[in-house]
Amino acid sequence: MTRRTLAFALLALALFGSLSTARAADRPNILWVVSEDNSVFLGCYGYEDANTPRLDQLAGEGIRYTHAFSNAPVCAPARCTIITGVYPPSMGTQHMRSKNRIPDHIKMFPKYLRAAGYYCTNNSKTDYNLSYGKGGYDATAWDKMTKGDHTKRKPGQPFFAVYNIGTSHESSLHKPLDKSLFDADVTIPPYHPDVPEVRANWAMYHRIITRMDGQVGAILDKLEKEGVADDTIVFYYGDHGGILTRSKRFLYDTGTHIPMLVRFGKNWQHLAPGKPGSTSDRLVSFIDLAPTVLSLAGVEVPEHVQGHAFLGEQKTEDPEYVHLFRGRMDERYDFSRAVRDHRFKYIRNYMPHRIWGQHLNYLWKMPLTNAWQREYEAGRTTGPQNFFWEPKPAEELYDTEADYWEVKNLAGDPAYAADLARLRKALDDHQARIHDSGFLPEGQFNLRSKDRTTYELVRDADEYPLAEVKAMAETATGPKASATDLRNGLTNPDPGVRYWAATGCIVHLAVARELSELLVNQLSAETDPDTRLAVAEALCRIDQTEDALPEITKLLEHENEYVALHAANVLEEIGDAAKAAVPAMKKAAKRGGYVQRATEYTVERLGE
């Protein structure tokens, strides 16, 4: 090689390098570091038990969001919210491990980034609570998924990369307790009994958070070594709250309030909403992440997206509320919705007859859960330590500033009547706006959708008269449902209205006794299986099992797995009356999945 050739080669290399850098600098790299199952129990959020130096450093270099939330308190529905920018109750994907399809026009948002030239990778978690195949999970949204590495991109290509850290996942506490921690000096929430197992589990949790903190630091160090930190906007957040019992899976702040830190590389500081080390009290939640990333990347946010960008050119005005949801958690059905402003949280429980502490196979692998149940059953718990094991109120209202752990329900306090009414209306408006599918039992998604998605079904007013169905649900699960209300509901032509009227008979057993003859007639006449199960449960609860139990047993074999799971839940709820169905439950357990989990536990509890 001549000197001239060598000089030309060096010049070309330098020129290519500068062009590559210029292309990369046209749009920011965006990197997400996501830790599993942890709320704001970090030093930078003022939590005294925390040891999180790298996250505290990141907070000092970026923006700390004080009011960031996961819309769902559990992973897969929360992740579905993130990847689509659409509320899962709007699509029927709010239940844990849903298999619902979504319409073709709703894309996983990295698809838009790829079309704009971004290299998109995901290193592990891809369970987005969607079906696989058409109308569900789209592998083409990523250049590389599972073990994805952003360094494989083309020279100068901007990247969007997700790095998920599983160290702090709930399963990390599914192990024998370290007895040396039985007297650990840790903060115990007022709803947990102060016993050695509880102290040890909390102390173990803090240890794994510290381990996770180091792993976040290693990812940030890698960015520096690669020389791309100045061109990268880094988001750190927890994938929901958790993990100690009454946090993950529940709509309290311990289950939904997440840490979120955003650091802007030096070349993108002009996009930051404040100086390094500052805080933002804007209400943000997972529904907002997709539009925010698209906004930062200069990609137009699609019209169907229900969230709002909180950064970039498409940033919107600060929202007034955050909306939260809870559906089926693994093998147990529940239905709650919540709305929160900066101070108050309102929760509406549409299944007040189901206790918070419904047995979940996975949750009961944690020593703390078993210790808490033991203490409750032995009569050694008091006040808020009892609530988890008892029927829920239909409405809850908390002042989160005065009552961080949310143990003082203000819903019945006249002094807060205006706040209750305001938040109640905000929830009503939201449910109408997104066409909340929660008022349909999960089994009906498949039985009624047929050739269309649940998203499309719930937007058909003839098929799903939401206002009418919701009105019956509000009445039936509220404190004052009358026999006339529920009688009219049970004879309504719409199966959704009938379902909630039947559910009201479970909530209001005195009314169920008054309507017992109608319930018996309805049992044989009802065409909708989920409504038939609700009628049967109501009859069992008023000791009329002769006709009801065989019907529940029959529906345990239903071809629709969610109808069968509903039947399994009912058998658990009716207690000793389910003993005659033990052979059927043992047979159903062979079906596997959540039906197996539910039936095996009920058989075990009945001592059979």
CB 340 within 8 A of CB 400: yes
183 lies in a domain? yes
From the list 44, 75, 80, 540, the catalytic residue is 75
Average pLDDT, the chain: 93
Q: Check if 75 is active-site.
A: yes
Question: What is the pLDDT, as a whole number, of residue 209?
Answer: 97
**Amino acid at the residue 355:** I
Q: Which of 300, 316, 332 is the last residue of a domain?
A: 316
33 lies in a domain? yes
Q: Taking residues 481-499, what's their average pLDDT?
A: 97
Q: Which of 316, 337, 355 is the last residue of a domain?
A: 316
Nearest residue to 237 (alpha-carbon basis) of 255, 214, 220, 257: 257
483 lies in a domain? yes
Cis bond upstream, residue 243 (ω within 30):
yes
* Confidence tier at 127 by pLDDT (50, 70, 90): confident
Q: Which of 276, 298, 316 is the last residue of a domain?
A: 316
Burial of 155 (0-12, 13-18, 19+ CB in 10 A): exposed
How many angstroms separate the CA atoms of 230 and 267, rounded?
6
How many structural domains is the chain composed of?
Answer: 2
CATH number at residue 101: 3.40.720.10
Residue 310 and residue 445 share a domain: no
For residue 322, the surrounding DSSP H or E stretch is strand 322-326
Residue 20 tokens read as 């590559």
How many angstroms separate the CA atoms of 439 and 430, rounded?
14
* Confidence tier at 3 by pLDDT (50, 70, 90): very low
Who's near 247: CB < 8 A, 6+ residues apart? 39, 73, 241, 254, 255
Q: Taking residues 308-327, what's their average pLDDT?
A: 98
User: Can you tell me which residue has the tokens 């058909």?
Assistant: 460
For residue 525, the surrounding DSSP H or E stretch is helix 516-525
Statement: residue 583 has pLDDT above 60: yes
SS3 content of the chain, % helix, strand, coil (to 5): 50, 10, 40
Question: What is the pLDDT, as a whole number, of residue 513?
Answer: 98
How do residues 179-222 score in pLDDT, each as one tens digit? 999 999 999 999 999 999 999 999 999 999 999 999 999 999 99
374 lies in a domain? no
CB 304 within 8 A of CB 106: yes
Range of the domain at 562: 438-605
How do residues 514-568 score in pLDDT, each as one tens digit? 999 999 999 999 999 999 999 999 999 999 999 999 999 999 999 999 999 999 9
537 lies in a domain? yes
Question: What is the pLDDT, as a whole number, of residue 135?
Answer: 66
How many angstroms separate the CA atoms of 486 and 498, rounded?
9
Sign of CA dihedral 443, 448, 453, 456: negative
185 lies in a domain? yes
User: Can you tell me which residue has the tokens 């961080």?
Assistant: 404
Nearest residue to 262 (alpha-carbon basis) of 59, 36, 120, 69: 59
Residue 400 tokens read as 């989160």
For residue 375, the surrounding DSSP H or E stretch is helix 367-377
Beta strands across the sheet bearing 344-349:
322-326, 336-340, 344-349, 395-399
Helix (H) and strand (E) counts for the chain?
22, 13
343 lies in a domain? no
Strand 344-349 vs strand 395-399: parallel, antiparallel, or unpaired?
antiparallel
CATH number at residue 483: 1.25.10.10
CB 344 within 8 A of CB 398: yes
Residue 197 tokens read as 């197992």
521 lies in a domain? yes
How many angstroms separate the CA atoms of 477 and 506, rounded?
9
